[in-house]
Amino acid sequence: MEKKNIILIFLFLTCGSLSIYAQQVVPASRFEIQGRPFDNTPKFHRIDTAKYIGLPAAVKKLYTHAAGLFVTFKSNTSKLSLRWKTVDAGLGNNSTPIMSRGFDAYIKEVNGWRFAGVARPDLKNMESTATVVEDMAKTEKEFLLYFPLYKELLDFDVIIDENASFIDTKQSFDKTIVIYGSSIVHGASASRPGLAYPAQLGRKLNANVINMGVSGNARMEPAVADMLSDIGSADLIIMDCVPNSSPEEIKERTFNFVKRLRKSHPQTPILMVESITRQLGNYNLKWRARLIEQNTNFRLQYERLQQAGYKNLYYIPTDHLIGDDSEGTVDGTHPTDVGFERMLKIIGNKVEVIF
């Protein structure tokens, strides 16, 4: 009898809790996914990998990651929660779980987007549920949710108050910027998705920044150039791909990569960014020599393109990109939030000059 009473009390408390905190679930199907380079892309992928069969296998897999994708909506909810599923629960050894598999949220204010909270992923399971922010005023707010950077997202639900309003929204941007690059563009090692420099650049300039970073695999293959060429509305293309390309690849591929981009984007400005000065080279002489050769070859190809008559080309050298105090990375290669802030200042200022 005593055991039965305990069970009844538990059920009563559980049901009571559900009635007090009654919620409505808004499925992913009710949102327009933003930050994609192409319409009609399946799932939460950045591109239709089945369409671009010539891409290297590793590049295809990385473009299933939801880096740079986001949704926006309006609601007067007092609490915002998420339920979502990623392809697995694995984590990188130089990244936070929130950046890799979680979400972060912003709320629009008069002077721009303001950070509101994060959805922390379950560390063991593919499926996660988390409260992002609660105890808010029941006034209408516009939310922005950045998707996980380093995982394929399989599904998500937004959970709000039972009687709260909900309106899916779509942002109006001043410009579209496409950034092709390495793990640094992809987002490593920001603490959360909204602090990767492409996301920060988008908020800073009210630009639709399309994140085409492919961690460890930005090597300027012709098939990648052709895929990027299909993006029709770019106002600026940023090439931040030096870190992954060998000195030989830079010498052999940079000119033709830009040449292919120019077939469909004859006047679009292209900003070429040298590799950050990776702090692994502070004492590792082999790394230091490689970096110098990479950046030297990239600059020579930039000059070659100019001599060949290519216009609207811009260049950022490695100088000061992540600061000069050796405190801008998590592991000697990937920027921390401090490193990204420093990159944003230099790259953002250059982009404003171009525009």
Q: C-alpha distances in angstroms, 174 versus 188, 313, 329?
A: 27, 21, 31
Nearest CA to 58 out of 185, 183, 146, 149 is that of 183
- Predicted confidence at residue 20, as pLDDT, reads 53
- Predicted confidence at residue 13, as pLDDT, reads 42
Give dist(CA 216, CA 274) in Å, integer.
16
- Predicted confidence at residue 18, as pLDDT, reads 39
pLDDT tens for the chain, 355 residues: list them. Answer: 454 444 444 444 444 333 456 899 999 999 999 999 999 999 999 999 999 999 999 999 999 999 999 999 999 999 999 999 999 999 999 999 999 999 999 999 999 999 999 999 999 999 999 999 999 999 999 999 999 999 999 999 999 999 999 999 999 999 999 999 999 999 999 999 999 999 999 999 999 999 999 999 999 999 999 999 999 889 999 999 999 999 999 999 999 999 999 999 999 999 999 999 998 999 999 999 999 999 999 999 999 999 999 999 999 999 999 999 999 999 999 999 999 999 999 999 999 999 9
- Predicted confidence at residue 22, as pLDDT, reads 87
> Residue 131: enclosing H or E segment and its boundaries?
strand 127-133
Give dist(CA 340, CA 71) in Å, integer.
23
- Predicted confidence at residue 317, as pLDDT, reads 98
- Predicted confidence at residue 21, as pLDDT, reads 63
3-state percent breakdown (helix, strand, coil) of the chain, nearest 5: 35, 25, 40
Domain with CATH 3.40.50.1110 in the chain: 175-354
Nearest CA to 216 out of 101, 2, 59, 28 is that of 59
Name the CATH code of domain 23-169 (choices 2.60.120.260, 3.20.190.10, 3.40.718.10, 3.40.710.10).
Answer: 2.60.120.260
Domain with CATH 2.60.120.260 in the chain: 23-169
Q: What is the pTM of this model?
A: 0.93
- Predicted confidence at residue 233, as pLDDT, reads 87
Residue located via tokens 């110098």: 292
Residue located via tokens 């599923």: 85
CATH number belonging to domain 175-354: 3.40.50.1110
Residue environment code for 151-174, b if the CB has 16+ CB neighbours within 10 A, otherwise e: bbbbebbbbbbeebeeeebebeee
